[in-house]
Homo-oligomer: A and B are copies of this chain.
Amino acid sequence: MQTFSYESLYRFVYQVFTAIGCSEADAITAAEGLLIADLRGIDSHGVARLSGYVRLWEAGRINPKPNIHIVHETPSTATIDGDAGLGLVVAPWAMKVAIKKAQQAGTGWVSVRNSNHFGIAGYHAMQALAYDMIGMAMTNASPLVAPTFSVERMLGTNPIAVAIPAQKQPPFVADFATTTAANGKLEILQRKNADAPLGWVQDKAGQPTSDANALKKGGALLPLGSDREHGSHKGYCLGSIVDIFSAVLSGAGYGPWAPPFVSFLPLPAEPVGEGLGHFLGAMRIDAFRPAEEFKHHMDNWISRFRNAKPAEGHERVLIPGDPEREAEAERRRSGIPLVAPVVEDLQQLAQKFAIVWL
């Protein structure tokens, strides 16, 4: 495990994105969007994925100079074509449109097609906070999740993020995959050769299994709730809603037709839409209630929940966003630790693009 400063990783990632042809402005946007995952402790979505984006570019699936554009709009909505750009560039562009719509119409809702993986959803939702708005972001993703009662991989881990501003308290930031466990957590277990808790994955027959490698053997991730008795049909609903809002509404590839993130898997033979889809939203607080009044009550909400009586064996009750906020403070101070395979991966990128290694 080696540790790198945010600044040094930022310079490196920026150079990789310019090397594949991104404009300076887009490379800055993409580097920020990628590294915020490492800062916030969501290691699966940060620089660990950089070589994956590069391979998608090599496979011709990422357009480094996209003509992102609005294809349809109303006062409070827009449909955006990402022109196969990096999701890390397309989603911030789309979020700006949502925020502008909200400034004028109270709320703004943008469905995006023809995009790619956009990093962590929470980052995009949080863009609304500075405007005293609630931000929302969701995206569909490579099919890895079986619906309740099924063995077929039909949905992605399809995350939902909601960011809500407060006054003196830090914002409420929920950001979670609609599965019991994100795929990144399985990958950590695979590296350790450890078992997964029952309820995270099923085998290819649809039976519960603790095999962390079940996905490589035809198994599937399980929707939030794990099994029918514990509400997996609700996680299946959530993942489906994300899929439909992000991809059916925009004209992207939905369900099992969502394009895979890994470049070695073929694209669907008979596509039903273009690329991945996102759904982004912004709601102006004062479209409902004076912002100061709302934020005062959010402070009260947050401190009341923080002070809820802890269960035996727990010291405190957390607010959505607390763990990521603590990780970010720590990593901005002490640097971002990277496991050896990720460091090697980045070193190969340095070689490929003749970038001076850190």
Which residues in A have some Cβ–Cβ distance to B below 8 Å?
72-77, 79, 104-107, 109, 111, 134, 146-152, 154, 162, 164, 172, 174, 176-181, 197, 199-200, 202, 205-207, 224-226, 229-231, 233-238, 240-241, 243-245, 248-251, 254-256, 272-273, 283-285, 287-289, 294, 297-298, 300-301, 304-305, 308-314, 316-318, 320
Q: Which of A179, A231, A287, A317 has the most CB of B within 10 A?
A: A231
| In contact, B256 and A288 (Cβ under 8 angstroms) | no
How many copies of this kind of chain does the complex include? 2
Expressed in whole angstroms, the Cα–Cα distance for A5 and B178 within the complex equals: 39
Q: Which of A146, A256, A301 has the most CB of B within 10 A?
A: A301
| In contact, A309 and B152 (Cβ under 8 angstroms) | yes
- Among the listed B105, B148, B298, B310, which residue makes an inter-chain contact with A318, where contact means beta carbons less than 8 Å apart? B148
Residues of B close to A109: CB separation below 8 A: 106-107, 283, 287
Given the known interface contacts A202-B311, A233-B176, the answer about A249 and B294 at a Cβ–Cβ threshold of 8 Å is yes
Residues of B close to A238: CB separation below 8 A: 174, 238
Q: Which of A73, A148, A176 has the most CB of B within 10 A?
A: A176
| In contact, A77 and B287 (Cβ under 8 angstroms) | yes
- With A174-B238, A255-B304 already in contact, 18 other A-B pairs whose C-beta atoms are closer than 8 Å: A72-B287, A72-B288, A75-B76, A77-B283, A77-B287, A105-B106, A146-B308, A148-B318, A151-B311, A199-B229, A207-B312, A224-B235, A225-B225, A230-B230, A238-B238, A243-B301, A248-B294, A256-B304
Expressed in whole angstroms, the Cα–Cα distance for A234 and B199 within the complex equals: 15
| In contact, A107 and B76 (Cβ under 8 angstroms) | yes
Residues of B close to A205: CB separation below 8 A: 311-312
Q: For A318, give the chain B residue with the smallest CB separation.
A: B149
Q: For A257, give the chain B residue with the smallest CB separation.
A: B304
Expressed in whole angstroms, the Cα–Cα distance for A206 and B273 within the complex equals: 47
Taking the closest CB of chain B, its distance from the CB of A237, in whole angstroms, is 4
Residues of B close to A149: CB separation below 8 A: 310-311, 314, 316-318
Expressed in whole angstroms, the Cα–Cα distance for A309 and B164 within the complex equals: 39
Residues of B close to A150: CB separation below 8 A: 308-311, 314, 317
Of the A-B pairs whose beta carbons lie under 8 Å apart in the complex, a sample of 14, sorted by A's number, is A72-B287, A74-B105, A75-B75, A107-B107, A146-B308, A148-B317, A151-B311, A154-B304, A174-B237, A177-B234, A206-B312, A226-B226, A226-B230, A272-B297
- Among the listed B72, B174, B289, which residue makes an inter-chain contact with A289, where contact means beta carbons less than 8 Å apart? B72
Residues of B close to A287: CB separation below 8 A: 72, 74, 76-77, 109
| In contact, A300 and B272 (Cβ under 8 angstroms) | yes
Q: For A202, give the chain B residue with the smallest CB separation.
A: B311
Taking the closest CB of chain B, its distance from the CB of A90, in whole angstroms, is 16
